[in-house]
A and B are shown apart, each in its own frame.
Chain A
């Protein structure tokens, strides 16, 4: 069975370690916050200038001056801070943020990522994505393994305009957990009930399959 978006988020949450500062992108990455173990200390950074983001406010307690990068009303947790956009990207560019989780349209076997522009369609902009992928040491991409037309999103080379080059280290999809090493996707884990053959068929880029590929545990 391939994973739901919530299950992808749940698997990625296992990569979030005690003491991490984490930046979550929009979409599946946002869901990761719901699955982080409550016995570890983690702070979420939002690039519009918030560290220590909490859950959405209760109805009637929204504050127009307290939003996240998706422009949603949020709350802050004890220990939180606000800061300007330049300082926010000092945290990101200066590699003070430990883990970045973001979505993608395509990832290539050399770690290139495309997630901001489809030629011929309305271009909304890259926001902070290019700064994040260019600087972060530890980037996990959360995405579906194939697009709506059934084509692989794990490619030999990206066909869409790039967001960053050679920057992705790990990809978690609805089918698998993969690590990018020396120009290949290395298959680390399978979604429960998904075979290595299924994953091979859905991966266009070079796939290395170790002798043992365990099923994911949650």
Chain B
């Protein structure tokens, strides 16, 4: 067993520097690496390029890095829920690259899988496809999209073991598995960290080979963005 545990967020984020490209898992505020984000805030690293489906809300998630003006560029599919984001984007302080959600996921997966580029129909004939190579397959037009390149990937899982094996819960899985192994160093934070051998190998979602560092996160807030309920009759 190759032990991937690092003990703390401080040690897990060693080597993160100004100007780096980071991948961050999560959909909205669901399944975001809360502890790694908090550590990025306290390190104060800046000029970051962040690849993440969304950009958090004003006072949580990636919104915390935006408040601190640590992000130079966001690569996302949807960024609507954040006033500070809008202010920085309209003033030109923040560069934003909006890409279709499926292409965002596949560009992560391609990086993980060692596939340099792929063709997808998403965005053909729109401004997303402008300047990109296009080609017809089976009578339908596609555009060429490239794998991402990133320095660090920060993911959040439900359970993990010392070997870096990960299990996700519910819809908090989202982009987290496809970012594992898609950057030079993948840092996983988990709610529960157990010794190797305690997780059923049949139940592992992401094998430890894709993870370089793992630690147990603390005080998960798991904020809900849209609390919707129905009344008991």
Interface residues of chain A, those whose CB is within 8 Å of chain B, are: 46-50, 55-74, 82-86, 88-89, 92-93, 112, 122-131, 134-135, 161-166
Contact = CB atoms under 8 A, between A and B. Distances in A.
Interface residues of B, number: 58
A158 to B, nearest CB: 10
Interface string B58-82: 0000000000000000001111110
A67 B173 contact: no
Given A65-B31, A89-B101, A135-B121, A162 B226 contact: no
A86 B106 contact: yes
Contact of B102 (A74, A128, A165): A128
Nearest to A163: B126
Contact of A130 (B80, B126, B232): B126
A73 B226 contact: yes
Contacts of A58: 229-232
A49 B76 contact: no
Contacts of A127: 77-78, 100-101
Contacts of B76: 125
B78 A84 contact: no
B29 A125 contact: no
Contacts, number: 180
A174 B37 CA distance: 46
B210 interface: no
A95 B105 CA distance: 17
B91 interface: no
Contacts of A47: 101-102
A71 B123 contact: no
A62 B227 contact: yes
B222 A125 contact: no
Given A47-B101, A48-B30, A73-B226, A63 B170 contact: yes
B174 A85 contact: yes
Which 4 pairs across A and B sit closest by C-beta, in order of nearness?
Answer: A89-B102, A131-B102, A165-B125, A124-B80
Interface in B107-129: 108-109, 120-128
Given A48-B30, A125-B80, A130-B128, A84 B103 contact: no
A122 B227 contact: no
B5 interface: no
A69 B28 CA distance: 9
Given A67-B30, A128-B102, A93 B226 contact: no
A72 B121 CA distance: 29
Contact of A73 (B109, B158, B229): B229
Given A62-B227, A67-B27, A67-B28, A88 B105 contact: yes
A82 B168 CA distance: 9
A66 B121 CA distance: 29
A72 B171 contact: no
B194 to A, nearest CB: 19
A86 B105 CA distance: 5
B172 interface: yes
B211 interface: no
B10 interface: no
A71 B77 contact: no
A84 B89 CA distance: 29
B169 A65 contact: yes
A63 B76 CA distance: 25
B178 interface: yes
A46 to B, nearest CB: 8
B209 interface: no
B122 A66 contact: no
A57 B230 contact: yes
Given A86-B105, A125-B77, A131-B100, A65 B125 contact: no
26 contacts: A48-B171, A50-B171, A57-B229, A58-B230, A62-B229, A64-B223, A65-B30, A65-B31, A65-B169, A67-B225, A71-B81, A71-B226, A72-B227, A73-B224, A73-B229, A85-B27, A86-B109, A92-B102, A93-B102, A112-B125, A125-B79, A126-B128, A130-B123, A131-B102, A134-B122, A162-B127
